[in-house]
């Protein structure tokens, strides 16, 4: 299906939830917290609204109390949101049918997202949408850092933060990567303290300019 196949995401978070009105707010806050932890360069209000509409659509059209899952994936220039449920009844993408089949929710999703769609899965279906990220210089550095950590974790065998389910795992991997770089710096005849000072100066200058 067009718009569904992509390269591997840089960052991914899976948030199971129960389709109930009281759970939607909790899910929205959990998603917002995760995006903040990632330093995600998107409008958080926009992402929260999309999460609310996608989750509410499950409550209204699949049923209260059913199990569902929100998947967040940072794929370079886009943030992808997917809500999976166990129903294989697909909402129609045609505007003429949308009031009957999916109500106001997917009208809102279509107006806010750069792309959206539905797909059948082995267990049911997924409704997904994507919003653009702001790939300015700071965001490009975040993306490169995420890619470097991902490659480093794979090469070193360190458990990923997605597997461990804790933000601290990502920080521990970053510390280990920096330590390895300092070892390389010293072995190459450079002063590790000088390298750290220069990196800190670059960081502070870019933060001040932001």
Long-range (24+ apart) CB contacts under 8 A made by 163-171 are 167/37
Burial 69-87 (b: 16+ CB within 10 A, else e): bbbbbbbbebbbbbbbbee
Three-class SS state of 169: helix
Three-class SS state of 16: strand
Residue 66 has pLDDT above 90, yes or no: yes
Better-scored residue on pLDDT, 54 or 172: 54
pLDDT in tens, 161-180: 444 444 456 778 888 888 88
pLDDT for the residue numbered 157 = 62
> What domains can you pick out in the chain, each with its CATH number?
11-132 (3.30.565.10), 137-209 (no CATH)
CB 85 within 8 A of CB 122: no
In a 13 Å sphere around the CA of 6, the CA atoms on its Cβ side amount to 14
- Nearest CA to 148 out of 6, 43, 8, 10 is that of 10
């Amino acid at each position: 299906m067009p718009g569904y196949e992509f390269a591997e995401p840089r960052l991914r978070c899976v948030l199971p939830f129960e389709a109930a009105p009281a759970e939607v707010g909790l899910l929205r806050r959990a998603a917002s917290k995760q995006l903040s932890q990632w330093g995600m360069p998107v409008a958080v209000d926009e992402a929260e609204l999309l999460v609310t509409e996608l989750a509410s659509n499950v409550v209204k059209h699949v049923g209260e109390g059913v199990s569902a899952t929100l998947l967040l994936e940072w794929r370079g220039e886009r943030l992808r949101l997917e809500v999976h449920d166990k129903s294989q009844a697909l909402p129609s993408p045609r505007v003429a049918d949308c009031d009957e089949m999916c109500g106001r929710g997917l009208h809102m999703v279509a107006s806010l997202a750069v792309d959206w769609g539905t797909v059948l899965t082995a267990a049911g279906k997924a409704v997904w949408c994507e919003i653009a990220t702001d790939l300015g210089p700071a965001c490009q550095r975040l993306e490169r850092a995420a890619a470097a950590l991902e490659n480093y974790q794979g090469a070193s065998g360190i458990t990923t933060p997605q597997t461990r389910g804790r933000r601290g795992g990502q920080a521990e991997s970053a510390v280990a990567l920096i330590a390895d770089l300092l070892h390389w710096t010293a072995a190459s005849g450079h002063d590790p303290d000088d390298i750290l000072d220069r990196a800190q100066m670059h960081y502070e200058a870019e933060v001040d300019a932001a």
